[in-house]
Amino acid sequence: MTSGLAAEFSSADAVLAAVRALRETGYRAISAYTPFPIDGLDQALALPRSRLPVAVFAGGAIGAVVSYWIQWYANAWAYPLVVGGRPMNAIPAFIPATFEGTVLGAALAGFIALLIRLRLPALWHPMFEVDGFESATDDRFWLALDRDDPQFDPMLARRDLERLSPIRIVTVGEDSL
Amino acid sequence: MAASGVLRGHADDAQITTMILRPLRTPSRIWWILFSITGLGTLALGCAIWYTVATGIGLWGNNIPVSWAFAIINFVWWIGIGHAGTFISAFLLLLHQKWRASVNRIAEAMTLFALINAGLFPILHLGRPWFFYWLIPYPARMQVWPQFRSSLPWDVAAVTTYFTVSLLFWYLGLVPDLATARDRMPGRLRRRIYGIFSLGWRGAAEQWHHYRIVYLLFAGLATPLVISVHSIVSLDFSITQLPGWHSTIFPPYFVVGAIYSGFAMVLVLLIPVRRIFSLESVITKQHLENMGKLMLAMAMMLAYSYLVESFMAWYSGDPFERYTYLFARPYGPYAGVYWIMLASNLLIPQLLWWKRLRRSPVVLFATGIVVLVGMWLERFIIIVASLNRDFLPSAWHFYKPTWVDLTILFGSVSFFLFLFFLFLRWVPFVSISEVKELRRELAEEAR
C-alpha cells in the first residue's frame, strides 16, 4: 500500500461489511486497520494462512539440536569428567537444558519471523500521513484501497466507498487522485 | 468460571483508551511517595550488595553446614512468584478464560520484575559474581566447560530462557497498546518514544492475523516452560541425598507452591492498583474472586504435597528422613517457623471457602500477604531446616541470618516494587486492545 483511498468507519461491523462489499465489487488490494483483532476480518480479506508456525517449529528443532550438542560437546567430548558415575553422554541429565533450548529457539524464531513477516520496525508508513489515522488504534476502523489494484479507478473507487457510508474518505499518498 | 462480570459499565472504546492511559499522563502524589520510599529501599539494596561484593559473602549468616540460606530462599521465592504471571497470560489464554484480558499485563510485568530479583541472588551467592559468565557455555581459553550433569547449569538454562521468553511475550502483547499510547498521549517526545517502541504498528488486519498466531504459539510455549522452570529449581534440591530434599514429589510440589505465591502477589499488587486508579470497571470483583478460588485450589494441592512428603518420609523407613520430617521440623530448632508456615499456607487461606470473604478486597489482600510470608517461610524450612541437621549430629549447627541478609531481602522487595511503580507510570498496565476485544465479544454474546 503506497497510495490510494482510505475510509474511516465507526464500528467493527461496518468495516467488516464494507470489506465484504468491496471484495464483491472485485477489489483485491484492500487493507483494514483496527484497534483490536476482529473475528471474521481475516476470512473477509481472504488472507492466506500464516506460515509463521513453520518458523517456530524450525526454531524449536534447531534449539533442541544445538543445546544438546553444546552439552555433549562440553561434557563428553571437550572436557570429559566423571561426575557421580554418570556416563559421559548422560542423556537424562542433558534433557532439562535441551528442553529449555528448544523453547528458547522456538520463541526467538517466532518473534524474529513475526517482525520480518510484518516488516517491522517501520516507523513510517503512507497511512500515518493520513489526517486522523491515529484513531485506528483508539476507537475507529479504517480501510484502504490500493491504487495498484487493477480494479482501482479514482472516480469509481471514491463512489464505491461513498456507498458504504463511511465517516469520511481521504486520499493516501502524495499525488492527488 | 463465569464470564459475566469481567467488564462492568458502559464505557465505549474511546473511554476505555482514556481510562487506561490516564494514569500514564501525570503521576499522582501517592505515586511519588511510594516511588521515593521504594527508591530508598532500592538504594539500601545497592549498598548491601556493594558491601557484600566488596567484602565477601562471609557477611551473610550461611556457613557449613547451612551453606545455602537467604540467597537461595529468596531466589526460589522470587522465581515462584513469577510463575503466576505466566500462568495467567499463557494457561488462561489457551483455556479461553475471558477474565485474563484485563489482568494479564500486570501479572506478566510482575513475572519480569520477580525474575530480575531472582536472578540477582544466585549471582551474588557465587561469591565472585564478576565471574558469573563462567556459567554460560562458551569456548573459554581455560578449556573448562560447565558441568551439565549437575543440576545447577540446568537452572541457568531455565531461568535465562524463562526471562527471555517472558520478556518477548510481554513485549509482544504490549506493541499494539504502545501504538495506542503513541497516538493518544500528549507531548511530542513521549509520543516519539512510544512510537519507537511500538515499532510502527498500524493495526492492519494482516498484522493482527500473523500477530495472533505468534501470540498463541508463545502461550503454548510458555505453558510447559513455566512448569519446567520450577521443576528444574526443585531438582537442585531433590537430586541430592540430603534428608528433606531427596524426594520425587519435589517438582510438582514446587510448581504448585510457585503458582500459589504468585497469585498471592498478583492480588497484593492488583487490589491497591485497582483502587488507586479507579479501575473497578475493568478489574472487577469477579477477577479477584477467580484468583481467590485459584489460590484456594493451590492451597489444597500444597496441603496434599506436605502430607505426601511427610507420609513418604515415614513410609520409607529411613531413619534420617523420619527424623527430619517427623521430629526436626515440628519440634526442632525452627519449629516456630514451621508452625507459622503451616498456619499461613494451609489454615488461613481456608477463609476463602466463604464467597463473601472471597469477594472482599481487604480479606484477599491480607490473605495474599500472609501467603507470601508463608511461602517464604516454606523455603526457609526446606533449605535451612534440612541443612542445619543432616546425618551427623556432630555437624549440626544453628543458622541465624545477619543484618546484611535482612537488608538484601527487604531491599529486593523494595526493588521489585520500585520497578513495578516505574511500570505503572510508563506502560499501559491494562491491555487496551484486549479489553476492547473482550467488550466486543461480550456485546456479541449478549446479542
Share of chain A above pLDDT 90, in %: 61
> For B15-43, how does the pLDDT look when each residue is reduced to its tens digit (9 = 90+)?
889 888 988 888 888 899 999 999 999 99
Apex A121 CA angle, A116 and A123, nearest 5: 145
Flag whether pLDDT at B200 surpasses 60: yes
The predicted model gives B259-283 an average pLDDT of: 92
Q: Do B437 and A127 touch (CB under 8 A)?
A: no
Q: How far off is chain A from B45, nearest CA to CA, in Å?
A: 31
What rounded mean pLDDT belongs to chain B? 92
Q: What is the pLDDT of residue A109?
A: 97
Q: Do A52 and B213 touch (CB under 8 A)?
A: yes
Flag whether pLDDT at A57 surpasses 60: yes
Report the residue from A84, A99, A121 with minimal CB separation from B199.
A121
Flag whether pLDDT at B87 surpasses 90: no
Task: Categorize the per-residue pLDDT at B169 as very low, low, confident or very high, splitting at 50, 70 and 90.
Answer: very high
- Cell numbers describing residue B133: 559468565
Q: Please tell me the number of Cα atoms within 13 Å of B186 on its side-chain side.
A: 6
pTM of the predicted model, to two decimals? 0.94
CA–CA gap between residue B217 and residue B208 (Å, rounded): 14
What is the predicted ipTM? Answer: 0.93
Closest chain B CA to residue A106: B221
With contact defined as beta carbons under 8 Å apart, do A106 and A80 qualify? no
Q: Do B208 and A115 touch (CB under 8 A)?
A: no
The predicted model gives B147-166 an average pLDDT of: 93
Whether the link from the prior residue into B428 is cis, omega within 30° of 0, is no
Flag whether pLDDT at B101 surpasses 90: no
Residue with cell 488486519: B205
Alpha-helical runs (H) found in A26-150: 41-44, 52-72, 91-118
Closest chain A CA to residue B199: A121
Flag whether pLDDT at B403 surpasses 70: yes
The predicted model gives A37-45 an average pLDDT of: 92
- Cell numbers describing residue B382: 526446606
Alpha-helical runs (H) found in chain A: 12-25, 41-44, 52-72, 91-118, 154-162
Flag whether pLDDT at B96 surpasses 90: no
Task: Categorize the per-residue pLDDT at B4 as very low, low, confident or very high, splitting at 50, 70 and 90.
Answer: low
Phi, psi dihedrals of residue A5, rounded to the nearest 5°: -125, 140
CA–CA gap between residue B325 and residue A72 (Å, rounded): 38
Closest residue by Cα to residue A117 from B417, B211, B395: B211
- Give the other-Cβ count within 10 Å of B369's Cβ: 15
Q: Do B183 and A111 touch (CB under 8 A)?
A: no
Please, which residues 17-36 of chain A have a Cβ atom closer than 8 Å to chain B? 31-36
With contact defined as beta carbons under 8 Å apart, do B401 and B70 qualify? yes
The predicted model gives A57-68 an average pLDDT of: 97
Residue type, B436: K
Q: Do A45 and B437 touch (CB under 8 A)?
A: no
Share of chain B above pLDDT 70, in %: 99
Task: Categorize the per-residue pLDDT at B3 as very low, low, confident or very high, splitting at 50, 70 and 90.
Answer: very low
Task: Please report the sign of the dihedral spanned by the C-alpha atoms of residue A129, residue A131, residue A135, residue A141.
Answer: negative
Q: What is the pLDDT of residue B267?
A: 94
Flag whether pLDDT at A2 surpasses 80: no
> For B274-313, how does the pLDDT look when each residue is reduced to its tens digit (9 = 90+)?
998 888 888 999 999 999 999 999 999 999 999 999 999 9
Flag whether pLDDT at A33 surpasses 90: yes
Task: Categorize the per-residue pLDDT at A175 as very low, low, confident or very high, splitting at 50, 70 and 90.
Answer: low
Closest residue by Cα to residue B83 from B223, B221, B274, B220: B223
CA–CA gap between residue A92 and residue A78 (Å, rounded): 19
Task: Categorize the per-residue pLDDT at A151 as very low, low, confident or very high, splitting at 50, 70 and 90.
Answer: confident
Apex B436 CA angle, B434 and B440, nearest 5: 115
> For B125-147, how does the pLDDT look when each residue is reduced to its tens digit (9 = 90+)?
998 999 999 999 998 888 889 99
Q: CA dist B170 to B79, B88, B173, B175, B255, Å?
A: 17, 12, 5, 9, 21
Q: Do B214 and A103 touch (CB under 8 A)?
A: no
Is residue A121 less than 8 Å (CB to CB) from chain B?
yes
CA–CA gap between residue B45 and residue B121 (Å, rounded): 12
Report the residue from B17, B183, B213 with minimal CB separation from A50.
B213
Is residue A107 less than 8 Å (CB to CB) from chain B?
yes
CA–CA gap between residue B437 and residue A12 (Å, rounded): 10
Share of chain B above pLDDT 90, in %: 78
Report the residue from B144, B205, B211 with minimal CB separation from A114.
B211
